[in-house]
Amino acid sequence: MIALAVSACNRSEEISSVDPVNWEKRAINHSLPDSLEIGETYLSVYSQIYSMTEHRTHDLTATVSMRNIHRTDTVYLLKAEYFDTHGESIRTYFDQPIFLAPLETVEIIIDGIDQAGGTGGNFLFNWKVKLGSPEPLFEAIMISTMGQQGLSFSTQGRKVE
């Protein structure tokens, strides 16, 4: 019983999604121009998926990619917030402006043991781009492997107003 309790405590420390990329190195320390276009993107991310019945789930590892698809302009991400199936905020990865250089990708990893998002987790991203520039691309790839069986699928973000 004690070993099980110690194992459960150590398990929460193993969740790397709680340890963010060093967002401070990407922080913008000056105010952004008012001329930038602002947007918000919704991205569905699954920590778990149903299997065989509604009472059985498989845990998934998710890679959340935030991509600047412009060749020359920088994208500014203002906030990345993760929500669970019930719409409750789980965590905010950053809530200060960070930058993505042209054609750069930055990722957030949701570990397979992190079940907080459940079967209907999602992200909201707030961003700014130069007027006329394409909006950033947000994608998630979910994967699980057990024995000789593998499962993977992807989702793409959708701009919301």
pLDDT in tens, 46-60: 988 888 788 888 888
Confidence band, pLDDT 50/70/90 cuts, at residue 11: very low
Confidence band, pLDDT 50/70/90 cuts, at residue 23: confident
- Can you tell me the distance from the alpha carbon of 70 to that of 123, in angstroms, rounded to the nearest whole number? 22
Question: Does 2 have pLDDT greater than 60?
Answer: no
Three-state secondary structure call for residue 60: coil
Confidence band, pLDDT 50/70/90 cuts, at residue 157: very high
Nearest to 110, CA basis, from 140, 150, 76, 134: 140
Across the range 103-109, mean pLDDT stands at 93
Question: Does 155 have pLDDT greater than 50?
Answer: yes
- Can you tell me the distance from the alpha carbon of 72 to that of 68, in angstroms, rounded to the nearest whole number? 10
Token pair belonging to 123: 């992200």
**Pair 112, 18: CB distance under 8 Å:** no
pLDDT of residue 20: 57
Token match 């004690």: residue? 2
Question: Does 161 have pLDDT greater than 80?
Answer: no
Return the DSSP state at 84: -
- Global pTM reads 0.83
For the chain, the straight-line distance linking the first and the last C-alpha, in angstroms and rounded, comes to 50
pLDDT of residue 12: 46
CB atoms within 10 A of CB 95: 12
Return the DSSP state at 72: S
